[in-house]
Structure 1
Amino acid sequence: MEQKRLYRSNSNKMIAGVCGGIAEYINLDPTVVRLLWVLLCFMGGTGVIAYIIAAIIMPNQYQ
């Protein structure tokens, strides 16, 4: 059995693939994850910082 890993997506990518990767990991529509992330951005701006950190930390899908 293959273990699930969290990666930045190459196929569901708008900026860096973070939301697409999270959506693939939890089997959810990427649009829902993106909308939730936008809400986080408007609620104090923590979403922007979290996105930048996730884009740096999360490995690319095909590395």
Structure 2
Amino acid sequence: MSKRKLTRSSDNRVIAGTIGGLGEYFGLNRTLINIIRIVVVLGAFGSWGILFIIYLIASLLMTQAKS
């Protein structure tokens, strides 16, 4: 059994591949991940700025997937 690793997607990307990587890791559609992310962040923090900061931090922490 191989161990999965959370990485930014090299194929399923719009900006940095962070959301595509999360979708590939959890087996979910990128659109569903985006909807969940927006609902959670706006419900918890109420700010688009926080959403941008979380995305930026995640894209810096996640490594690029090897194609």
Shorter-chain TM-score range = 0.7 to 0.9
Letter in 2 for 1:44: S
Q: Look up the equivalent residue of 1:24 and give its one-letter code.
A: E
Does the 8 Å contact 1:7/1:58 carry over to 2? Answer: yes
Is it true that 1:6 corresponds to 2:26 in the alignment? no
Percent identity between the two aligned chains: 30
How many residues align? The count is 63
Where do 5+ consecutive residues of structure 2 fail to align? none
Bigger strand share = 2
* Distance of aligned partners of 1:48 and 1:32 in 2 relative to their CA distance in 1, 3 Å threshold: same
Structure 1 outlier segments of 4+, above 3 Å? none
Q: Secondary structure at the match of 2:16?
A: coil
TM-score normalised by structure 1 residue count: 0.84
More helix by share: 2
Q: Name which one, 1 or 2, has greater alpha-carbon Rg.
A: 2
Q: Distance in 1 between matches of 2:53 and 2:42?
A: 9
**Structure 1: which 5+ residue stretches go unaligned?**
none
Alpha-carbon RMSD: 1.9
